[in-house]
Amino acid sequence: MYDIAIIGAGVVGAAIARELSRYQLKLIVVDKGNDVCAGTSKANSSIVHAGYDPEPGTLMAKLNSEGNPMFDKLCKELSVPFNRCGSFVVAFTDEQVETLKVLLERGKKNGIPGLEIVDVKKLLEKEPAASPDAKAALYAPTAGVVDPMLLTTALMENAVMNGADYKLNYKVDSIEKTAGGYIIHSDAGDVEAKCVINAAGVYSDIIHNMVAKPDFSITPKIGQYFLLDKSENDKIQSVLFPCPDKNGKGILVARSVHGNVILGPTSDVDQDRDDTGTTDEALNRVRQGCSKLVPTITTRNCIRNFAGMRAEPSTGDFVIREVKDAPKFIDVAGIKSPGLSAAPAIALYVVDIVKNCGIALNPKKEFNPIVKRTVFMELSPVEQAALVKKDPRYGRIICRCERITEGEIVDEIHRPIPAVTLDAIKRRCRPGMGRCQGGFCGPKVHEILARELGCEWKDIVLDKKGSYILTGKTK
């Protein structure tokens, strides 16, 4: 019997797991994916929003404004790259300039520091490639960019290092209320827990409905993106948004924390909650939207198109509460944007709910908040030399585009949450994230995986269960 079971190993579930792993609790995280960070958290704009956008008084406003300042310490503790690069909302018409004023007021009410409406001259100083047709922009110095995949993975790793259990490929079929709590039923076995936290992303309404009357619903909304080569990053230093409209924050241009350029997303209702397909029509809209912000941007150097699904709640706000007719069942649902930015604050908010619903929270003395990860190319020459001497595998580059060494890849296979697929390795230490998209390093990473895991080449999958790469040996 677990004290707490968390359904969902996205950034929200992971952040909650890590916060709860500070306490003397028997904790488990389950996820239907073949890896942690397999849903919304792996396919988004990777932006830590300043917090001027949500309506004051909403949970989104509260948790975005509280979450944003937590990133510096959190990312330092977890060795996750984070860059507080700032952001601009760009207005092109007088009407949009009025919108900037509304956003500024909202931001002030939300307690967001440093917001300022700047003229086009100031915008072009910071973003020389931005459209000179802009009239003004709302500058938010506290916005940032983060690696959401590494953040989620490191949060989960840290929870596991501090005693949490986790199960992957665990699709929840049903949840049964018992005298002592809940039994989660799945083909992958039952999990019994006193308290259940529903952080199931686009499936959170379905999970909720397993134990309680439907009182909200999730509309899956797909967002499609371009990821451009680093050679394009002279055109963007930070994050440029258009003026928001009823469909959300709009199609943005951002420089990712790794120096790529991200263009997107669209925002379209999609019936299939697992859909991550892209379409020419939607990507054309992305192209058009971005060229308004940065006229010289081209997708000639696109290295990847991708799409992610967002959980749009019918309530218009995050749904985070103990469910009325299901004691100790906590919804953390409808976490759309700014969910990533809010995640650290959501975790603290949920810890309070856990406490209030009668779970004793006794701190663990031995809690260790630190996750270390070696990024070879970021070490000093002296450190690099020492590391290669100690472990020659760090002297062998496997991914020539991103310059990832064999040592880093092997490390990922043997960490608290082992990376056992090609994409899991790619999400954590980036071989295949570059311009050749794994054309050169794919077979080499494949070989390393098979060797380290002691399995056949054909048993290694790309990502999900069933995503086999090879059919067997040649004749």
Partner 1 sequence: MNFDLVVVGGGPAGMAAALEAYNNGIKSIAIVERDVEPGGILQQCIHNGFGLHVFKEELTGPEYAQRFINMTKDTEIKYFLDTIVLDIAQDKTLTVMNSKQGIFELKAKAIVLAMGCRERTRSGIGIAGDRPSGVFTAGAAQRYINIEGQMVGKKVIILGSGDIGMIMARRIVLEGGEVIAVVARSSFPKGLTRNVVQCLDHYNIPMWYSHNIVGIYGKERVEKVVVAECDKKTKAVIPGTEKEYACDTVLLSVGLIPENELSRQVGIKIDRKTSGPVVTESMETSMEGVFACGNVVHVHDLVDFVTEESRKAGKNAALYIKGEITKNSQPNTFKVAGGLSYAVPHMFRPENLGDKFDILMRVDRVFGKCYLVVTEGGKELGRYKKPFLTPGEMIKLTVPSSIFKGMAGKEIGITVEPEEEK
Residues found near partner 1 in the complex (CB under 8 A): 227, 231, 274, 276-280, 283, 299, 302-306, 381, 384-385, 388-389, 392-397, 400-401, 403, 406, 435-440, 442-443, 447, 457-458, 461-475
- Shortest Cβ distance from residue 422 to partner 1 (Å)? 8
Q: List own/partner pairs for 343-346 with CB under 8 A and 24 or more apart.
A: 343/11, 343/12, 343/14, 343/15, 343/67, 343/151, 344/15, 344/67, 344/70, 344/71, 344/74, 345/62, 345/63, 345/64, 345/66, 345/67, 345/70, 346/12, 346/15, 346/16, 346/63, 346/67, 346/318, 346/320
Comparing C-alpha atoms, which of 423, 420, 405, 427 is closest to residue 462? Answer: 423
CB of 446 to partner 1, least distance (A): 8
Catalytic residue among 49, 208, 258, 446: 49
- List Cβ neighbours of 472 (8 Å cut-off, separation of 6 or more): 458
Write the DSSP symbol of residue 188.
T
Minimum distance between the CB of residue 347 and partner 1, rounded to whole angstroms? 30
Query: What CA–CA distance (Å, rounded) separates 426 from 403?
Result: 12
Residue pointed to by tokens 């005693």: 163
Question: 253 CB contacts (<8 Å, ≥6 apart)?
Answer: 235, 236, 239, 240, 261, 262, 263, 290, 293, 294, 297
Residue pair 194/181 in contact by the 8 Å Cβ criterion:
yes
Q: Please identify, using beta-carbon distances, which residue of 95 and 280 lies nearer to partner 1.
A: 280
Indicate the residue among 117 and 470 with the shorter CB distance to partner 1: 470
Nearer to partner 1, 356 or 471 (CB): 471
End-to-end CA distance of the chain: 51
Shortest gap between Cβ of 441 and partner 1 (angstroms)? 10
Output the smallest distance, CB 380 to partner 1, in A: 11
Nearer to partner 1, 178 or 288 (CB): 288
Q: Which is nearer to partner 1, 102 or 385 (CB)?
A: 385
Closer residue to partner 1 (CB): 177 or 304: 304
Dihedral pair phi/psi, residue 148, rounded to 5° = -65, -30
User: Cβ atoms within 10 A of the Cβ of 114, count?
Assistant: 12
CB of 420 to partner 1, least distance (A): 14
Taking CA atoms, 138 is separated from 142, 152, 182, 246, 354, in Å, by: 12, 29, 48, 18, 38
Minimum distance from CB of 38 to partner 1 (Å)?
12
Q: What distance in Å separates the CA atoms of residue 352 and residue 355, rounded to the nearest whole number?
A: 5
Q: Which two tokens stand for residue 184?
A: 């989660």
Structure token pair of residue 350: 């949920």
Phi, psi dihedral angles at 459 (to 5 degrees)? -80, -10
Residue pair 264/226 in contact by the 8 Å Cβ criterion: yes
Nearer to partner 1, 171 or 213 (CB): 171
Cβ closer to partner 1: 203 or 394? 394
Q: Tokens 């060797």 belong to which residue?
A: 451
Shortest Cβ distance from residue 298 to partner 1 (Å)?
12
Q: Are 402 and 144 in contact (CB under 8 A)?
A: no
Looking at beta carbons only, is 343 or 441 nearer to partner 1? 441
Angle 11-20/339-356 helices, nearest 10 degrees? 40
**Shortest reach from residue 194's CB to partner 1, in Å:** 35
49 is catalytic: yes
The Cα 36–Cα 47 span in angstroms is: 20
Which residue numbers are catalytic?
49
